[in-house]
Amino acid sequence: MMQVHRGWLFSAVLALTGVAHGAGDPEKGKLIVTAGDGSGAPCIACHGLDGAGNDLAGIPRLAGMDAGYLVKQMRDYRSGARKSAVMSPNVDNLNDGQIADVAAYYATLDTAPTSLPSGAPGALALGEALATKGDWDHYIVPCETCHGPGNVGVGSDFPKLAGQHPTYIKQQLKAWKTGTRNNDPNHLMLAIVGRLTETQIEAVAAWLARQDPKGGK
Amino acid sequence: MRPFSTVFWVAVILGSGVLHAAEVPVEHPPFKKDQYVHHAPTVDDLMKDQEIKPQLKKVILKGRDIFMNTQQYRGKYVFSRLSCKNCHLGEGRLNWSGPIWPAATTLPDYRGKNGHVNSLEERIAGCFSFSLNGKPPEYGSDIMLALSAYHQWLALKAPVYETHIGGRGYSSLGKDIPKDIHYVQGEKVYQAQCAICHGATGQGKSVEGKVVFPPLWGDDSYNWGAGMARVYTAASFIKNNMPLGKPGALSDRDAWAVALYVNSQERPQDPRYTGDVKETREKYFNFHQYTMYGTERDGVLLGQHDNTGAKPFLKPDALRPRTFDE
């Protein structure tokens, strides 16, 4: 039952975002993720068997992310709009159909968040304030205004941040700051990131990583 | 030339290692000479303030909570899917985003919109009735008192009856639509710059029933009598606040065009509707001269309908004249 329902949801999501050429097939996606497409390491080698990623290595959690968002990122790596020496080679020969399949597969995964050691209370309070109230005197719009209540993401354009690894979040924010990541629509994310200090980046990454990816408390 | 360019490239490479490369500017109009520029206090300031009694702090925070999430009264006082903070960004503190505190220092005063002297509560009731397409809470109720307390506290240390205020309201682009502004151009700007958040048909976006990006037109948005329905008000709001996070990013022309586009769409009826849109437009022409209400777009007369959105009535009782003749 659940499978059927989910499949239907994905096609609806993908149809709405206009991203896919038809819905991705999670079963086919699973094959690519585990066995690879013949060139290079399979995704699981880095992103883990369950799509949980790895904090220390700076590898993002993909489990439970929006399929449309994952499609966009893979296409951006493939076209060079998003650059990563480690990641780009892994998708450069996947076709659109395979990309949709892989995204559909990761979106179905439901992985428990890795537990992190408790962070410094001061930093977590600062992180929470930035994520939920922002800092309007410096025009830092609260993260949840775009990334949604609980920062669980909004559709395919605003990714889930809750429960993402802190090292990865920091890396991405710094990548925008230095111009290495530059693939956000209309520079909506760059606008915010450019106003964050290094202390704020540390704090908000630490807080977001400790939130429930499903939006619970 | 060669040695120089090597130095140059080394500098670029070193430079890109530090955190400061790319930035999107925040561009607001300059303040005019002789204007009072206010710096409204923050919640942190409130918590630290020893002069304010804890009981009052609680009520101010309640007012803030209502302002930030007015949807908690959806179906009772609010029939749109908007909250106060959607149009008064940054908790109602932000200059160039209709900061709300001036109402606490300049009212009671005469308002052209309803032709009599208004109190702060009446001003708030105005935004409930038009902007939120709602029904204002009773004057003197806990909700009204909490909201008033929030407004007044934000005005902390501002001079009373000072009206030369920098960044007040939304009118930095002036009132007259430039002549060569077109709806079609506005539609292009909308699809390129706004639809990602507000949706291709202006309906906004929600996650699990919670509004994330507010609706700009249709049944769930502000009604035809709202200040934001004036093209100039929307143009200045958009110029100085949208796309979110990038104030000043649009050219003046694009801001006007997209405001015209947004405000040429259907929305719930003006609560002052007489049953005939042209008549209502004439009757409130001091206001509607700036809206598209009662004008034609593509052969359709805008605002000629009985649709009040999710609100089961047309006009809230709170909207009544005062004469001060008793």
Domains of chain A: 2-108 (1.10.760.10), 121-209 (1.10.760.10)
pLDDT category, B109, cuts 50, 70, 90? very high
Q: Do A188 and B43 touch (CB under 8 A)?
A: no
CATH architecture of B183-301: Orthogonal Bundle (1.10)
Mean pLDDT value of segment A140-163? 97
Mean pLDDT value of segment A174-197? 97
Task: Using alpha carbons, list the distances in angstroms from residue A175 to A33, A55, A88, A89, A186.
Answer: 26, 17, 15, 19, 17
SS3 annotation, chain B: CHHHHHHHHHHHHHHHHCCCCCCCCCCCCCCCCCCECCCCCCHHHHHHCCCCCHHHHHHHHHHHHHHHCHHHHECCCECCCCCHHHCCCHHHCCCCCCCCCHHHHHCCEEECCCCEEECHHHHHHHHHHHHCCCCCCCCCCHHHHHHHHHHHHHCCCCCCCCCCECCCCCCCCCCCCCCCCCHHHHHHHHHHHCHHHHCCCCCCEEECCEEEECCCCCCCCCCCCCHHHCHHHHHHHHHHHCCCCCCCCCCHHHHHHHHHHHCCCCCCCCCCCCCCHHHHHHHCHHHHCCCCCCCEECCEECCCCCCCCCCCCCCCCCCCCCCCCC
Residues of A in contact with B16 (CB under 8 A): 178-179
Tell whether the model's pLDDT for residue A37 goes beyond 80: no
Q: Give pLDDT, residue A22.
A: 60
| More confident site: B229 or B17 | B229
Tell whether the model's pLDDT for residue A9 goes beyond 80: no
Asked which of A147-151, B17-21, B174-178, B294-298 is least confident by mean pLDDT, the reply is B17-21
Residues B94 and B86: beta-carbon distance below 8 Å: no
DSSP A184: S
Tokens of B178: 């430039």
Q: List, for residues B130-175, the tens digit of each pLDDT value.
A: 999 999 999 999 999 999 999 999 999 999 999 999 999 998 999 9
Q: Do A139 and B21 touch (CB under 8 A)?
A: no
Mean pLDDT value of segment A102-122? 89
Euclidean distance between the first and final Cα of chain B, in Å?
A: 87
Residues of B in contact with A157 (CB under 8 A): 196
User: Which residue in A53, A59, A91, A44 sits closest to A72, CA to CA?
Assistant: A91
Shortest distance between the Cα of A52 and any Cα of chain B, in A, equals 24
Tokens of B68: 């930030």
Residues of B in contact with A187 (CB under 8 A): 24, 246
- Structural domain boundaries of chain B? 34-154, 183-301
Burial state string for B80-118 with b = 16 or more CB within 10 A and e = fewer than 16? bbbbbbbbbbbbbbbbbbbbbbbbbbbbeeeeeebeeeb
Q: Give pLDDT, residue B72.
A: 98
Q: Do B245 and A157 touch (CB under 8 A)?
A: no
Q: Residue B197: closest CA among chain A residues belongs to which residue?
A: A146
Tell whether the model's pLDDT for residue B14 goes beyond 60: no
Shortest distance between the Cα of B19 and any Cα of chain A, in A, equals 6
Q: Do A177 and B21 touch (CB under 8 A)?
A: yes
DSSP A59: B
B21, B193, B247 ranked by CB distance to A186: nearest: B193
B16, B42, B192 ranked by CB distance to A179: nearest: B16
- CATH code matching the domain that covers B34-154, chosen among 3.90.1150.30, 1.10.760.10, 3.40.190.10, 3.40.50.300: 1.10.760.10
Task: Using alpha carbons, list the distances in angstroms from residue B219 to B168, B202, B288.
Answer: 29, 10, 20
Query: What is the SS3 assignment for A140?
Result: strand
Q: Residue A140: closest CA among chain B residues belongs to which residue?
A: B245
A 74-93 residues with CB below 8 A of B?
none
By the CB < 8 Å criterion, does A21 face chain B?
Answer: no
d(CA A70, CA A152): 14
Tell whether the model's pLDDT for residue A203 goes beyond 60: yes
Tell whether the model's pLDDT for residue A7 goes beyond 60: no
Q: List, for residues A82-106, the tens digit of each pLDDT value.
A: 999 999 999 999 999 999 999 999 9
Q: Do B246 and A187 touch (CB under 8 A)?
A: yes
Residues A4 and A17: beta-carbon distance below 8 Å: no
User: Crossing angle, helix B142-154 and helix B54-68, to 10 degrees?
Assistant: 100
- Residue A83, C-beta contacts closer than 8 angstroms, at least 6 positions apart: A77, A180, A181
- Residue B127, C-beta contacts closer than 8 angstroms, at least 6 positions apart: B84
Tokens of B168: 């007040």
Q: What percent of chain A has pLDDT over 70?
A: 89
Indicate the pTM of the whole model: 0.93
Backbone angles phi, psi at B74, to 5 degrees: -60, 135
d(CA B95, CA B40): 9
Interface of B with A (CB under 8 A): 16-24, 26, 42-43, 89-91, 93-94, 192-193, 196-197, 205, 207-208, 210, 212-213, 243-247
Q: Do B22 and A192 touch (CB under 8 A)?
A: no
Q: Give pLDDT, residue A5.
A: 40
Query: What is the SS3 assignment for A82?
Result: strand
Q: Do B19 and A178 touch (CB under 8 A)?
A: yes
Residues of B in contact with A170 (CB under 8 A): none
Tell whether the model's pLDDT for residue B326 goes beyond 60: yes
d(CA B236, CA B82): 19
Let me know if the fold of B34-154 is the same as that of B183-301.
yes
Q: Residue A17: closest CA among chain B residues belongs to which residue?
A: B196
The sign of the dihedral angle between the CA atoms of B169, B260, B127, B295 is: positive
Q: Give pLDDT, residue B5.
A: 36
Query: What is the SS3 assignment for A135?
Result: strand
Q: Give pLDDT, residue B51.
A: 96
Helices (H), A36-111: 44-47, 67-79, 88-91, 96-108
Tell whether the model's pLDDT for residue B92 goes beyond 50: yes
Tokens of A110: 């439901």
A–B CB contacts, 8 A cutoff, strictly below: 76
Q: Give pLDDT, residue A63.
A: 97
Tell whether the model's pLDDT for residue A217 goes beyond 70: no
Tokens of B190: 């909308």
User: Which residue in B319, B303, B306, B317 sits closest to B217, CA to CA?
Assistant: B303
Q: Residue B209: closest CA among chain A residues belongs to which residue?
A: A149
Residues A24 and A101: beta-carbon distance below 8 Å: yes
| More confident site: A169 or A18 | A169
**What mean pLDDT is reported for chain B?**
93
Q: Do A154 and B17 touch (CB under 8 A)?
A: no
Residues B155 and B104: beta-carbon distance below 8 Å: yes
Residues B60 and B204: beta-carbon distance below 8 Å: no
Tell whether the model's pLDDT for residue B39 goes beyond 80: yes
Q: Give pLDDT, residue B21.
A: 56
Residues of B in contact with A133 (CB under 8 A): 43, 91
**What mean pLDDT is reported for chain A?**
89
* B172, amino acid identity: S
d(CA A28, CA A104): 9
A 146-165 residues with CB below 8 A of B?
146, 148-149, 152-155, 157
Tell whether the model's pLDDT for residue B261 goes beyond 50: yes
Q: Give pLDDT, residue A111.
A: 77
Mean pLDDT value of segment B7-28? 56
pLDDT category, B222, cuts 50, 70, 90? very high
Tokens of A201: 């980046």
Shortest distance between the Cα of A192 and any Cα of chain B, in A, equals 7
